[in-house]
Amino acid sequence: MTIEQLQARVAQLEEQVAALSVQALAAETAPSGYAKSKYSVEEMDALLDKVAAKG
């Protein structure tokens, strides 16, 4: 393998590593399912009804 071929291969591998890094960062920041709350949907509805009634 020539130096030019090695340099081209290194450049190709660097691009692959950069693409994988972007994918890994995207996977880390993506939502991992449903949000959790300390209030049930029914409790939130009741509180919103109270606020709406006052306004």
- Are the C-beta atoms of residues 37 and 44 closer than 8 Å to each other? yes
pTM flag (> 0.85): no
pLDDT by 10s per residue, the chain, length 55: 899 999 999 999 999 999 999 888 877 776 667 778 899 999 999 999 999 999 7
Q: Residue 15 CA to chain centroid, in angstroms? A: 21
Predicted local confidence at residue 51, as pLDDT? 93
pLDDT at residue number 4: 95
Q: How many CA atoms lie within 13 A of 40 on its CB side?
A: 3
Q: What is the pLDDT of residue 35?
A: 74
